[in-house]
């Protein structure tokens, strides 16, 4: 296959930025003067609704070209830069407003129409005179979810997809581990009505309403009353969401099934970040695809994960939250997509950056690594057992220990959660967890430290806290945080995990807890990550209760948490068992090269 090298500005910049430049760039032959845009084109759906599309293409089209589609609830002008870029590189780029958004007809109901509408849009595009019958999809966040819902319906002309930082209904969209997010007010303000509502997103107004809901102990179900408009559609949708508090058929029916994954056989480029708030959703699709797809299909999926937050998966930076990952972390994501589409739709070479099916960044040593699948990121498990001295380890200065062998110094440690007293007096939205020169202090939590590490340690994958606990209420929410504490005292955030006690066995079924009963809670970190912990550092585990304005508040009564308020509050005593019979432990996936 012939490869054209771009010796212009783009390659020169990449060569400076990283050690792994995306070198097989096909030269850009067109300028912005040489492209055309067809605005507000009507794309017919099977039920008679017309969606609105902006179509970018070369002005003097010599022959039909492959097409790239983005289906977006954020209005089509959001994709103008991408449209110009791909049209200049001899693709037709089609950005489509979801129904009920932008200039599209119909009513927007989050998650519920994108699969069928996306199918119809892909097949409409494939039939146009400017398309050669090959259609790809791309996009991040909600636009990543669209792609999996479209793929669930298997449009015949969909030849590749590139989902990034992908949300998943019932997994991380609306909630984490069945604990609803207050972020729902922000996102629903953003997509209410037809217009973009850009300034509503994380507006001072929304943040104030979230803070008041938390501070005044108002029911979570009242949160969306702040979105006061004649159109009550979003309030109706929100109430339907909280009615389905388990991962039940309402959510499952939206998503690809085992049979859908088995049938899916197209190349997939999958991109997420270690600090991506939607990594849990992204990983839901990825792990199910790896579980159910054929061997041949799995060989066509390429997975990339870097030291990025949600927006950083589209626009990577060298620094995040005070941490410097160097310019090695800066990848030209748009160019990577172009190379991917050249490879899958124009018979080009595979992007050089994708050296294996999994490409992952090693934080700490700050380098890119490669392996055939996620399981190969780690090859052993390091277990540390929780223990404590005679006093309760409820602050840094009298912390417990994380030991490689069980130490039975004291049978239980104790946390008391009184939901009537706010745990955090300000707002946790936007709070920086990545790096801190000060002591991390969560009042009343339990602290455990490893000994100072004599050798560096590469943690690679999902961390799991296996905690044996008894509570004296029917329910509560647990939270843990893990840090690297460097020799100079700097705290580097690694990850956290949350769990609602009633979902200890399954997200699909509620089981209230029998007070006083010792249960094992396997709390998996929300995000996987890879970081090399430096020699001379140690690990700090913090365990406590979830009480944050980022999440629905659990008042421990055992009732429907969405409708609980201060009158339902029950103080919960959490006893953590550290005995040989009930050995609470921290499990770390370790990579050894």
Cβ atoms of residues 306 and 315 within 8 Å: no
pLDDT of residue 21: 35
pLDDT of residue 471: 98
Tokens 């089609």 sit at which residue? 94
Question: Longest C-alpha distance within the chain, in Å?
Answer: 80
User: Does residue 58 sit in helix, strand or coil?
Assistant: strand
Read off the pLDDT of each residue in 168-197 and give the average, rounded to a whole number: 93
| Chain centroid offset of residue 459 CA | 19
Which has more confidence, 22 or 116? 116
Rank 17-21, 189-193, 416-420 by mean pLDDT and report only the highest. 416-420
pLDDT band at 385 (very low <50, low <70, confident <90, very high): very high
User: Does residue 150 sit in helix, strand or coil?
Assistant: helix
Read off the pLDDT of each residue in 234-244 and give the average, rounded to a whole number: 95
pLDDT band at 339 (very low <50, low <70, confident <90, very high): very high
User: Above 50 in pLDDT, residue 26?
Assistant: no
User: Above 70 in pLDDT, residue 309?
Assistant: yes
Cα–Cα distance measured from residue 96 to residue 79, given in angstroms and rounded to the nearest whole number: 10
Cα–Cα distance measured from residue 148 to residue 142, given in angstroms and rounded to the nearest whole number: 10
Which tokens belong to 88?
Answer: 């200049």
pLDDT tens for 416-432 read 999 999 765 544 444 44
User: Above 80 in pLDDT, residue 148?
Assistant: yes
pLDDT of residue 424: 58
Non-local CB neighbours of 505 within 8 Å, separated by 6+ positions: 511
Percent of the chain with pLDDT over 70: 92
Rank 17-31, 40-54, 418-432 by mean pLDDT and report only the highest. 40-54
Helices (DSSP H) in 220-322: which residue ranges? 233-243, 249-252, 258-263, 279-292, 295-298
Percent of the chain with pLDDT over 90: 83
pLDDT of residue 405: 87
pLDDT of residue 443: 75
Reported CATH class of domain 9-171+264-377: alpha beta
pLDDT of residue 19: 32
DSSP assignment of 381-435: EEEEEEE--SS---SGGG-EEEESS---S-SEEEEEE-TTS-S-SS--TT---SE
Read off the pLDDT of each residue in 343-351 and give the average, rounded to a whole number: 97
User: Above 90 in pLDDT, residue 245?
Assistant: yes
User: Does residue 66 sit in helix, strand or coil?
Assistant: strand
Cβ atoms of residues 456 and 534 within 8 Å: yes
Reported CATH class of domain 380-590: mainly beta
* Paired strand residues for 158: 135
Read off the pLDDT of each residue in 469-486 and give the average, rounded to a whole number: 97
Cα–Cα distance measured from residue 341 to residue 129, given in angstroms and rounded to the nearest whole number: 20
pLDDT tens for 60-110 read 999 999 999 999 999 999 999 999 999 999 999 999 999 999 999 999 999
Non-local CB neighbours of 243 within 8 Å, separated by 6+ positions: none
Average pLDDT, the chain: 91
Question: Which of 434, 349, 440, 360 is CA-nearest to residue 397?
Answer: 440
pLDDT band at 390 (very low <50, low <70, confident <90, very high): confident
User: Above 50 in pLDDT, residue 2?
Assistant: no
Read off the pLDDT of each residue in 232-259 and give the average, rounded to a whole number: 96
Domain locations in the chain as residue ranges: 9-171+264-377, 179-245, 380-590
User: Above 80 in pLDDT, residue 126?
Assistant: yes
pLDDT tens for 391-404 read 899 998 899 999 99
pLDDT tens for 496-530 read 999 999 999 999 999 999 999 999 999 999 999 99
CA distances from 557 to 480, 554, 561 (A): 22, 8, 8
User: Above 90 in pLDDT, residue 474?
Assistant: yes
Cα–Cα distance measured from residue 3 to residue 246, given in angstroms and rounded to the nearest whole number: 51
pLDDT of residue 438: 52
Read off the pLDDT of each residue in 435-452 and give the average, rounded to a whole number: 79
pLDDT of residue 12: 31
pLDDT of residue 422: 77
Read off the pLDDT of each residue in 250-264 and give the average, rounded to a whole number: 98
Which tokens belong to 56?
Answer: 């970018």
């Amino acid at each position: 296959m012939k490869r054209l090298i771009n010796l212009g500005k783009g390659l020169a910049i990449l060569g400076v930025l990283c050690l792994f430049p995306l070198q097989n760039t096909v030269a850009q032959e067109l300028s912005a003067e040489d492209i055309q845009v067809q605005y507000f084109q009507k794309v017919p759906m099977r039920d008679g609704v017309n969606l609105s599309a902006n179509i970018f293409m070369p002005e003097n089209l010599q022959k039909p070209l492959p097409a790239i589609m983005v289906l977006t609830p954020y209005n089509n002008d959001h994709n103008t830069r991408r449209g110009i870029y791909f049209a200049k590189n001899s693709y037709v780029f089609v950005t489509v407003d979801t129904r009920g958004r932008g200039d599209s007809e119909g009513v927007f109901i989050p998650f519920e129409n994108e699969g069928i509408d996306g199918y119809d849009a892909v097949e409409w595009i494939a039939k146009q005179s400017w398309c050669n019958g090959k259609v790809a999809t791309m996009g991040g966040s909600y636009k990543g979810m669209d792609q999996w819902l479209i793929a669930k319906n298997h449009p015949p002309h969909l030849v590749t997809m590139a989902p990034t930082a992908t949300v998943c209904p019932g997994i991380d969209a609306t909630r984490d581990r069945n604990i609803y997010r207050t972020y729902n007010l922000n996102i629903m303000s953003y997509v209410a009505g037809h217009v973009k509502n850009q300034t509503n997103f994380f507006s001072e107004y929304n943040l104030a309403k979230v803070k008041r809901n938390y501070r005044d102990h108002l029911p979570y179900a009242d949160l969306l009353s702040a979105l006061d408009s004649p159109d009550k559609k979003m309030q109706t949708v929100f109430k339907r969401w909280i009615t389905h508090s388990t991962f039940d058929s309402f959510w499952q029916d939206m998503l690809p099934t085992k049979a859908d994954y088995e049938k899916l056989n197209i190349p997939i480029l999958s991109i997420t970040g270690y600090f991506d708030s939607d990594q849990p959703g992204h990983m839901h699709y990825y792990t199910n695809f790896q579980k159910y797809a054929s061997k041949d299909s799995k060989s066509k999926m390429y997975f990339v994960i870097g030291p990025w937050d949600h927006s950083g998966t589209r626009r990577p930076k060298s620094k995040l939250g005070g941490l410097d990952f160097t310019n090695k972390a800066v990848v030209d994501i748009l160019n990577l997509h172009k190379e991917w589409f050249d490879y899958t739709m124009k018979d080009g070479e595979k992007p050089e950056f994708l050296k294996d099916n999994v490409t992952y960044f090693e934080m700490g040593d700050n380098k890119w690594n490669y392996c055939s699948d996620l399981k190969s990121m780690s090859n052993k498990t390091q277990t540390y057992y929780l223990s404590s001295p005679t006093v309760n380890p409820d602050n840094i200065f009298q912390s417990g220990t994380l030991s490689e062998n069980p130490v039975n110094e004291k049978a239980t440690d104790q946390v008391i959660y009184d939901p009537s007293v706010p745990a955090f007096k300000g707002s946790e939205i936007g709070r920086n967890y990545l790096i801190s020169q000060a002591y991390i202090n969560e009042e009343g939590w339990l602290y455990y430290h490893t000994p100072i590490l004599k050798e560096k340690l590469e943690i690679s994958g999902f961390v799991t806290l296996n905690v044996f606990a008894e509570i004296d209420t029917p329910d509560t929410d647990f939270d843990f945080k893990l840090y690297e504490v460097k020799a100079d005292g700097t705290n580097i955030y690694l990850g956290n995990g949350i769990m609602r006690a009633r979902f200890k066995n399954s997200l699909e079924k509620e089981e209230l807890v029998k007070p006083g009963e010792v249960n094992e809670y396997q709390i998996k970190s929300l995000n996987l990550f890879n970081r090399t912990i430096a020699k001379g550092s140690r690990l700090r585990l913090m365990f406590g209760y979830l009480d944050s304005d980022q999440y629905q508040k659990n008042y421990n009564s055992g009732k429907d948490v969405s409708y609980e308020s201060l009158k339902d509050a029950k103080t919960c005593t959490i006893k953590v068992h550290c005995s040989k019979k009930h050995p609470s432990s921290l499990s770390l996936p370790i990579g050894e090269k």
